[in-house]
Structure 1
Amino acid sequence: MIPVPLSARSIRAIAVCATALLATTAAVSAAGTASAQSAAPPVVPLPSVDPFYTYDGSLEGHAPGAVLDTRTMPYGFHQLATPITSTQVLYRTTDQFDRPTTTVATILRPLVPGPAKLISYHMAYDALGSECDPSYTLTGNGAYSQAGTFEQGVITGYLAAGFTVVVPDYEGPDLEWTIGRQSAYAALDGVRAAETVLGLPASTPVGLAGYSGGSVPTQWGAEVAPSYAPELNVVGAAAGGLPVNLAHNLPYVSGSTHWAGVIPALIVSYQRAYDLDTSAFLSEYGQQIVDTVSSQCINAFASKYPGLTDGEMVRAPYTSLLDVPSVVESINDNIMGTAGTPRVPMLLAVGDVDGTGDSVMVTADVEGLAHEYCERGVAVTYAQYDRMSHSEAFLPFQAQAAQFFTDRFAGATPTSNCGVVGPGNDLAPTPVP
């Protein structure tokens, strides 16, 4: 257990995040008052019906990260325009089963010139419908999301600090949430595509960053980068609020007031990725909820089913999703720490509001992952924010990540606190029933 009190430096970094958010608000306010007609960003079609997102040619001749198309788009903010523009890139990537596929990333250039440095920022869009894709919401379209608003503040902060920021739609065209390797491939290939678009060498320093759902491409990206994208100069990865082993998260959120809605949403995602025959195990009520959430963003489903239990989702003879062999096999395929060993310093962070977790992520799972990496010789900083829920831990994590990347991009000697990281939970696969 490593409580992390907020130091003066952390408080200053939090202030930077807050200032960035205010700067974003000020920018869109200025854009909105300049002309009533320019207050709203141009309406763009949903990715599901936008032809830009579809590549009709063969992908077999294209290497991972190959640029297939680009376009200039606005950088908007909750239905308001800003003076900033972005470049969207359609590129070739790889799915969970090593098959070629495509996705889109948004490239944002720094607000001040300087040496090239790049952050692959992974938003926690936790989506089942294309209206949640960052490439869509970052244009200023889509429904309001408080989490998305704060993440745009963080992104703008990195832009103001001279970073190029790449924001991939890492869930892919089918919106497959929490699927590990393919999320990592999409993030790393987004970096490759961005470097091509911007004419940057592979030696350009890169940081991987993400919280909650965004921790998935971050952590998995650090694991698979040595084998999948060894030419990229990744200098560090900062992941907060990690779903390390969903077999442990599932009983934790079952019956929850605020997070039980993620249970049917995860079923949708795993059915898409692993072609699960959900008719073989879902109850009638479970199927009804799955159908309802199948095109929604997380803010529409996470807290909409207070008290929903894992057992209510299945029918006899099953009493839990963890009784279903195909579900357990799919979850086991996505346990963090199983795809490789990062070769870069890692920041791993999580809250602990109730002695078990941050209300959705299991604290000892993150500690167990940190301990495993430490055993493999990775320079890990493990941060535990006691008495903080998942949403409350977001700001201190961003503060610590900002300092972490300041050190990493400056070439400072990596530090770690492996000497005091406890063993945490056993992250072994769940036995298949």
Structure 2
Amino acid sequence: MASVVLLLGSATLVSVPVAQADPGPGSPVPANDPFYDWDGGLDVSPGTVLRSRPMTFRTPSQPTPITGSQVLYRTTDQQGDGVVTVATVLRPLIPGPTRIVSYHMAYDALGSQCNPSYTLSGGSTSPIAGAEQAVIAGYLAAGYTVVVPDYEGEELEWTIGRQSGYAALDGVRAAQSFLQLPSSTPVGMIGYSGGSVPTQWGAEVAPEYAPELNLVGVAAGGLPVDLAHNLPYVSGNRGWAGVIPALIVAYERAYGLDLTSFISDYGFEVIDQVDQECIAQFADDYPTLTDASMVKAPYTSLLDVPEVVAAIDDNIMGSQGTPRTPMFLAVGQADPIGDSVMITGDVRGLAHDYCSRGVDVQYAQYDGLTHSEAFPAFEAQGLQFLTERFGGGPTRSNCVMIPPGNALTPTP
């Protein structure tokens, strides 16, 4: 295997293996693929490219003429430690002035077969991945360079905020380094549902974590602003109750929760079933599952468990920083509470709070639309928003019209 040596700063040398085989249908899942493993040191800057290989943008049955690269890079986890993940870097067939879109897929995963780097190279697909791959193709056709990070990391820690934002920002850094682009290259970020997590958190932590990046606009839709509010909403919900055990798995991975102290026997049974699945497999598989059924006495809810509440409070959007870039925030409202899984008042509250801090916010509410139904509307409006931001046009802030929404204070 060939390799090159990069000089980082003034002293750090990193050997970067190149020209590995192009992955595709029949390739091992990331958990079994040596490309994703890094045994070397991580005493390098966040965003440093550690390894790369070519890839073809494709579905399991249909290749395209679009080629790109996968880059393994150093990023940072929720506790501030160095870790690695992979981003897919795609260049348009007809390139123009380079504009980077960091697109964050809603892969909401507990198993590595769901990783964007795997699905975009044709390793697997799902209805959600297929729809978002079509959106990515649209950005490529419009001449954008697209970066798609595996922002949940090696352990697939779904909905964990800061580290998802770090992975998104470091994915942009890695792409700029790999493509030899300056940090002044304009960047837009977009994501819906699970993909809103790295998007919103990326905007929130960027001023301190990646101040050199030229973020021109951030579009996030269907946001899980405070999971303490979402939990009772999806409990017993025919379409979404399956996210409860999946979130327990993600939080156990990220925070080392002692599940034996509060999970019921039935809870462990369901956790074992979803442990390696993607959201399309588990979200609607447990129509009668409730929050109460997941815990054992003396608890009656996950929100009775102090360590669970502390972990959820650590991931409330808007709690860690203030974005310095124009933002587009959107959510559906299918019933008095929300879009069937996300809380409309929470997203509105986040938008209102950002406005009070001087952030330029454009807020959209899709009345009558469920979470799934609001996806096309958001993607269309998000594309318009980013196009205008890259073009340097005036923003469409409607801060003066956004009511307060829900309070986003930590759960005691």
By the TM > 0.5 criterion, same fold?
yes
Give the counterpart of 2:396 among 415, 420, 431: 415
Q: Which residue is equivalent to 1:139?
A: 121
Q: How does 1:214-293 map to 2 (within 5 A)?
A: 214-293=195-274
Q: How does 1:326-341 map to 2 (within 5 A)?
A: 326-341=307-322
Give the counterpart of 1:425 among 393, 406, 409: 406
Residues 213-247 of structure 1 deviation map (CA, whole Å, 9 limit, x = unaligned): 00000000000001000000000100000000000
TM-score normalised by L of structure 1: 0.89
Q: CA deviation at 1:398?
A: 0.6
The answer as to whether partners of 1:41 and 1:80 remain within 8 angstroms in 2 is: no
Unmatched tracts of structure 1, length 5 or more: 1-39
Q: CA deviation at 1:85?
A: 1.6
Q: CA deviation at 1:414?
A: 2.3
Q: Which residue is equivalent to 2:4?
A: none
Alignment of 1:72 onto 2:54 = yes
Q: Which residue is equivalent to 2:159?
A: 178
The answer as to whether partners of 1:93 and 1:186 remain within 8 angstroms in 2 is: yes
How many residues get paired? 390
Q: CA deviation at 1:149?
A: 1.0
Q: Which residue is equivalent to 2:339?
A: 358
Q: Distance in 1 between matches of 2:138 and 2:170?
A: 24
The answer as to whether partners of 2:223 and 2:347 remain within 8 angstroms in 1 is: yes
SS of the aligned residue for 1:191 comes to: helix
Q: Distance in 1 between matches of 2:238 and 2:288?
A: 5
Give the counterpart of 2:33 among 50, 57, 75: 50
Q: CA deviation at 1:140?
A: 1.1
Q: How does 1:185-204 map to 2 (within 5 A)?
A: 185-204=166-185
Q: Distance in 2 between matches of 1:281 and 1:159?
A: 47
Residues 144-173 of structure 1 deviation map (CA, whole Å, 9 limit, x = unaligned): 411111101110000011100000000000
Q: CA deviation at 1:76?
A: 1.1
Letter in 2 for 1:55: W
Give the counterpart of 2:106 among 118, 124, 130: 124
Letter in 2 for 1:83: P
Give the structure with the larger strand fraction: 2
Give the counterpart of 1:98 among 55, 80, 83: 80
Q: Distance in 2 between matches of 1:208 and 1:338?
A: 20
Q: Distance in 2 between matches of 1:49 and 1:147?
A: 23
Letter in 1 for 2:386: F
Alignment of 1:368 onto 2:349 = yes
Letter in 2 for 1:201: P
Of 309-318 and 104-113, more deviation after overlay is shown by 104-113
Q: CA deviation at 1:79?
A: 3.2
Letter in 1 for 2:88: T
Q: Distance in 1 between matches of 2:405 and 2:60?
A: 40
Alignment of 1:84 onto 2:69 = no
Q: CA deviation at 1:352?
A: 0.2
Residues 81-131 of structure 1 deviation map (CA, whole Å, 9 limit, x = unaligned): 222222000000000010000000000001212001000000000000000
Q: Which residue is equivalent to 1:302?
A: 283
Q: Distance in 1 between matches of 2:176 and 2:220?
A: 23
Q: Distance in 2 between matches of 1:390 and 1:300?
A: 17
Letter in 2 for 1:361: M
The answer as to whether partners of 1:121 and 1:208 remain within 8 angstroms in 2 is: yes
Q: Distance in 2 between matches of 1:292 and 1:190?
A: 31
Alignment of 1:342 onto 2:323 = yes
Q: CA deviation at 1:41?
A: 4.7
Q: Distance in 2 between matches of 1:41 and 1:51?
A: 15
The answer as to whether partners of 1:353 and 1:389 remain within 8 angstroms in 2 is: yes
Unmatched tracts of structure 2, length 5 or more: 1-22
Of 333-342 and 72-81, more deviation after overlay is shown by 72-81
Q: Which residue is equivalent to 1:9?
A: none
The answer as to whether partners of 2:235 and 2:291 remain within 8 angstroms in 1 is: yes
Q: CA deviation at 1:413?
A: 2.3
The answer as to whether partners of 2:29 and 2:123 remain within 8 angstroms in 1 is: no
SS of the aligned residue for 1:83 comes to: strand
Q: CA deviation at 1:320?
A: 0.2
SS of the aligned residue for 1:259 comes to: coil
Give the structure with the larger helix fraction: 1
Q: Which residue is equivalent to 1:16?
A: none
Q: Distance in 2 between matches of 1:387 and 1:46?
A: 39
Q: CA deviation at 1:411?
A: 0.8
Letter in 2 for 1:89: V
Alignment of 1:402 onto 2:383 = yes
Q: Distance in 2 between matches of 1:235 and 1:260?
A: 36
Report sequence identity in percent: 66
Q: CA deviation at 1:43?
A: 1.9
Q: Distance in 1 between matches of 2:57 and 2:386?
A: 24
Residues 358-391 of structure 1 deviation map (CA, whole Å, 9 limit, x = unaligned): 0000000000000000000101011000000000
Q: Distance in 2 between matches of 1:76 and 1:154?
A: 13
SS of the aligned residue for 2:64 comes to: coil
Alignment of 1:115 onto 2:97 = yes
Q: CA deviation at 1:42?
A: 4.0
Q: How does 1:5-16 map to 2 (within 5 A)?
A: none
SS of the aligned residue for 1:151 comes to: helix
The answer as to whether partners of 2:221 and 2:329 remain within 8 angstroms in 1 is: yes
TM-score normalised by L of structure 2: 0.94
Q: Which residue is equivalent to 1:151?
A: 132
The answer as to whether partners of 1:251 and 1:310 remain within 8 angstroms in 2 is: yes
Q: Which residue is equivalent to 1:168?
A: 149
SS of the aligned residue for 1:147 comes to: helix
SS of the aligned residue for 1:87 comes to: strand
Of 144-153 and 229-238, more deviation after overlay is shown by 144-153
Q: CA deviation at 1:74?
A: 1.7
